[in-house]
Amino acid sequence: MLNFKLIINILGRLLVLTGFLMLSSAIVSLYYQSADLEAILVSSMICIVFGFFLRFLTRNPDRVPGKKEGYFIVASGWVVISFFGMLPFLVSGEIPSFTDAFFETMSGFTTTGASILTNIEGMSPGLLYWRSMTQWIGGMGIIVMTIAIIPYLGIGGMQLFVAEVPGFAPDKLHPRIKETAKRLWAIYFIFTVAEVILLVLGDMPVFDAICHSYSTMATGGYSIKNSSIAFYDSSYIHYVIIFFMFLAGTNFTLSYFALKGEFRKVIANEEFKFYSIALVLSAVLIAFVLVLVMDFRIPNAFRDSLFHVVSIVTTTGFVTADYNQWNLFVKIFIVALLFVGGCAGSTGGSMKVGRHLLLFKNTITEFRRIIHPRAVIPVRYNGKVVSSDIMSNILAFFYIYIMIFIISTLIMIALGLDLNSAFGSVAASLGNIGPGIGEVGPAGNYAQIPGIGKWFLSFLMLVGRLELFTVIILLTKAFWKK
C-alpha cells in the first residue's frame, strides 16, 4: 500500500515552495504598478497556507519514500502544482477559462511552452513573469528528477546517461544526491544569470531578458512577445539565445565538468558529440534548401535555420520565423526533428539524443549479431557495455512513444482537428516543444483546440515530461497490487 501520509507531506512542501516562488512575481507587479498584484498575492497565500496545512495534517511521516511512492509523487507533483500554479491567471481573470488556465500552467511547468494566449503582450507584467517562471521551476524539477529519481526508478535507460554524476548510485536514493542536485541547480542559476546579462548587453530590456532567460534554460519557450524572438531584430540576440538553448539541451553534468575544467570528459561524451554534429548538419542542410529554393540570403538562412533546429531539438520552441511557410521538405524535416529531443540529463524533452544514439548503435550491432549468431556482441556507450535490460527498456520506450503518438493523433483528429494540426499538436505536446505545425505552428496557438483536446494534450505533456513510464505505470494493475 502506498504511504499517502508521506506523499501528501511531500506535496505540501512542493506547494509551499511554489507559493513562495509565486510571491516573487508580486515584486514585478509592484514595480510596474500593474493590476495583477492582488491576484498574485491571494494565489500565493492560498498555495502557502494550503501547503502548510497539508504538512501539518501529515506531520512526522514515518518512513522514507519507496519506489512506488517515487512514481506517485513525481506524477502527482506536476499535476498538483499546475492546479495551484494556475490560480494567478484565474483569479486575475486574465485567463478566465479553467481549462485554458490549467493548460497554460501545465504547459509551463512541463517546460512545453504551448500557449492558448492570442495576445500575449496584453497580459499584466506580473502574470507574464509568473508564466515564464513556471517554466524555470519546471526545469529545476526536471534536473532533480532526471538526476535523482528517474535513474533510481530504473526507467528509460536514464541510469545510463547520468552514471557519471558525482554521488550517483542507480540502486538507491543516495544521500549525496542532494549535494549533486544543489550543484546542478547552481549551474542552472549561473547560466540563467549569464544569459540575462548577455541579452541586456544586446539592448534587450531587463524584464524581457529575465523572462526569456527563464524559458531558455528550462527549454520552455514561453515568450512575452506575440511574435516570440522574432520581435527582437538583432542577430546578436538570436545567437545568444541559440547558445543558451544549446547549453540547456546539453546534459547538465557535462556542463558541471566543463565548469570544473574537465573538458576531456565533455569531448569524450558520445551523446554530446552526436548532438552537436546532428545540430550543425541539420542546420546546414536546411540553410542550403532555404538559399537554393527559397532565395534566402546566406547569413539569414543559416541564422534562421540554426535557430529553429536548436530550438526544436532542444525542445525549447522559440521562433524567429514562420517555418510553416517554408518549403515542404524543410517543414517535414523540422517535423522529424520534433522527435529527437535534447540530451539526457538536460531540461530538454522528447525522445532524447542519447536514446536515438543507442537505438542506432543497437541496430548496427543487430546486423553483426545476425552475421555471427554464436558471438555475444554487446552495445557500447562511452566505452562501457550497455546491459541488455537497459537496451530492451530503451527499445520499449521508443515503441511506446510511437504508439502514443499514433493513437493520440487519431484522437485529436476525432476531436475535429485537421491532420497537420493533430499531428503537430501531439508531437509538440508529447515532446514538450510548444509550437508544432498546422494551426499550432509558429504563427498559431492552442486557443482554438476544443476543451477536451486541451486536457488531453496537457496529459500528453505530463506523460512526455516524465519519460512515459512514470505516468503510465500508475495505470497498470501491477503497480497497485501489494
Kindly list the residues in this chain that would bind a copy of itself in the complex (CB under 8 A). 67-68, 153-155, 328-329, 332-333, 336, 359, 362-364, 366-371, 373, 388-389, 391-393, 395-396, 398-400, 402, 406, 409-410, 413-414, 418-419, 422, 469, 472-473, 476, 478-479
Q: What are phi and psi of 385, to 5 degrees?
A: -70, 135
Distance in Å, CB of 132 to a copy of itself, minimum: 34
Distance in Å, CB of 370 to a copy of itself, minimum: 6
Contact 446, 100 (CB under 8 A): no
Distance in Å, CB of 351 to a copy of itself, minimum: 11
Nearer to a copy of itself, 154 or 202 (CB): 154
Nearer to a copy of itself, 413 or 443 (CB): 413
CA–CA separation, 159 vs 185, rounded Å?
19
Taking each helix axis as running N to C, give the angle between helix 177-201 and helix 235-248, from 0 to 180 degrees, rounded to the nearest 10. Answer: 170
Contact 322, 442 (CB under 8 A): yes
Considering only CA atoms, which of 315, 313, 472, 481 is closest in space to residue 396? 472
Nearer to a copy of itself, 64 or 478 (CB): 478
| CA angle (96 as vertex; 95, 101 as ends), nearest 5 | 50
Nearer to a copy of itself, 38 or 389 (CB): 389
Contact 435, 441 (CB under 8 A): yes
Nearer to a copy of itself, 258 or 413 (CB): 413
CA–CA separation, 125 vs 200, rounded Å?
18
Distance in Å, CB of 225 to a copy of itself, minimum: 30
Distance in Å, CB of 403 to a copy of itself, minimum: 8
Nearer to a copy of itself, 262 or 366 (CB): 366
Distance in Å, CB of 322 to a copy of itself, minimum: 17
Distance in Å, CB of 413 to a copy of itself, minimum: 5
Distance in Å, CB of 336 to a copy of itself, minimum: 6
Nearer to a copy of itself, 28 or 155 (CB): 155
Q: What is the DSSP string of 400-425?
A: HHHHHHHHHHHHHHHTT--HHHHHHH
Helix residue spans in 58-124 (DSSP H)? 67-85, 87-92, 98-109
Q: Which residues contact 173 (CB under 8 A, 6 or more apart)?
A: 64, 65, 148, 149, 152
CA–CA separation, 64 vs 46, rounded Å?
28
Contact 249, 342 (CB under 8 A): yes
Specify the 3-state DSSP secondary structure of 384: strand
